Amino acid sequence: MKKNIYAALAAAMSVGAAHAQSNVTMYGIIDAAVEYYNNADAAGNSLTRMPSLGGGMFPSRLGFRGTEDLGGGLKAIFQLENGFAPDTGTLGQNRLFGRQAWVGLQGNWGQVTFGRNYNMLNISTYDVDIIGPSQYGLGSLDSFIPNGRSDNSVAYRGTFSGVTVGGTYSLGRDTSAAGGPAGTGCAGESATDAIACREWSALLRYDAPGYALISAYDRIYGGVGAANGLNSSDKTDSRAHVAFFLKQNDWKLGVGIINRNNEGSATQPRSNLVYIGAAYNVTPFFTLDGQIAKLDYRATNNDSAQVLIRGVYNLSKRSAFYVAAGRVNNSGAAAVALSAGGSVGAGLNQTGIITGIKHTF
């Protein structure tokens, strides 16, 4: 009898072990570049530098992702990803894992994750933003776009017959005031103010052969001591994104508009960011892409227009060499720099060029 019980237990344990197949992958991108741009200050001086925030194609990162098969189509999943500056080797976002840090479950119903997640506005720019989160890109016009991450958040995403739905909810969107452009010092999770520093976002996307339609919405709440004028929980900063892209063989086109209502700004709360970009594979190894965008404030003439062009030569599947050039025209008192984390004199236009190497592993 005891032998039968032991045999049954051993069989059960072996079945459980068979289900619990797990794997962990280490991955990363290192993208280092040198750039030059003019009008770096009010005196019109120029600057040559190696940028820290991002490369000419992607911000550098090091990450770990893993899955464990729990059986019945259910998996445990996790992802840890940090950003770093290749010019100095320092950590980005003032955190050990500033880009992503979450754990969750995945099944045929989608996935749910807990931790530091990307919000749905950020995710909605994938594919349609041709230039992407590079040193010259939409992030220069609105740094929230490539830095759209939420601390203390629960995220869901699932795809069903070409329709993707997603959402996030954060109990305290940002615990750091020193995390670069995204650091706003709004920790939240307050017993005295239930909505202080919270954030929610939603995504709806439809993919068909050759095209996709995308929409997303994000709202952040202020709190005591928070940056960017959102110093109380009754103030919000909301963005609505509507976009589409077309893709056929060797070319791709992306168009979008992001409408913003920022109650933290007393002078220019409402704005529209409109962009259109295209990419063409000239050869199997060389891609030429470009994008134009305009940030238009309704209440003022402090507007900015951006023009970008980039050539990417793929040395292999993992390595690429690139050259990009761009220009930003600033109207009124606008001081939008071409390069993310860069500087420009108020009301001055800026032209720049950047070249570098990107390697993925």
Handedness of CA 189, 193, 194, 200 (dihedral sign): negative
Distance between CA atoms of 139 and 147, rounded to whole angstroms?
Answer: 8
- Taking only the tens place, the pLDDT of each residue in 24-52 is 999 999 999 999 999 999 999 999 999 98
- Taking only the tens place, the pLDDT of each residue in 88-107 is 999 988 899 999 999 999 99
Kindly tell me if the per-residue pLDDT of 9 is higher than 60: no
Distance between CA atoms of 334 and 271, rounded to whole angstroms?
Answer: 13
Distance between CA atoms of 259 and 242, rounded to whole angstroms?
Answer: 9
β-sheet bridge partners, residue 150 = 117
* The amino acid at 113: T
Q: By C-alpha distance, which of 82, 322, 87, 121 is closest to 238?
A: 121
pTM across the whole model: 0.91
Structure confidence at residue 1 (pLDDT)? 43
Kindly tell me if the per-residue pLDDT of 182 is higher than 90: no
pLDDT bin (cut points 50, 70, 90) of residue 6 is very low
The residue that leads in pLDDT, 194 or 119, is: 119
Kindly tell me if the per-residue pLDDT of 194 is higher than 60: yes
Distance between CA atoms of 224 and 234, rounded to whole angstroms?
Answer: 11
pLDDT bin (cut points 50, 70, 90) of residue 14 is very low
Kindly tell me if the per-residue pLDDT of 5 is higher than 50: no
Structure confidence at residue 214 (pLDDT)? 98
Distance between CA atoms of 340 and 133, rounded to whole angstroms?
Answer: 10
Can you give the chain as a three-state secondary structure string?
CHHHHHHHHHHHHHHHHHHCCEEEEEEEEEEEEEEEECCCCCCCCCEEECCCCCCCCCCCEEEEEEEEEEECCEEEEEEEEEEECCCCCCECCCCCCCCEEEEEEEECCEEEEEEEEECHHHHHCCCCCCCCCCCCCHHHHCCCCCCCEEEEEEEEEEEECCEEEEEEEECCCECCCCCHHHCCCECCCCCCCCCCCCEEEEEEEEEECCEEEEEEEEEEECCCCCCCCCCCCCCEEEEEEEEEEEEECCEEEEEEEEEEEECCCCCCCEEEEEEEEEEEECCCCEEEEEEEEEEEECCCCCCEEEEEEEEEEECCCCEEEEEEEEEEEECCCCCCCCCCCCCCCCCCCEEEEEEEEEEEC
| 278 in Cβ contact with 287 (< 8 Å) | no
Distance between CA atoms of 2 and 20, rounded to whole angstroms?
Answer: 27
Kindly tell me if the per-residue pLDDT of 255 is higher than 70: yes
Q: How many CA atoms lie within 13 A of 178 on its CB side?
A: 3
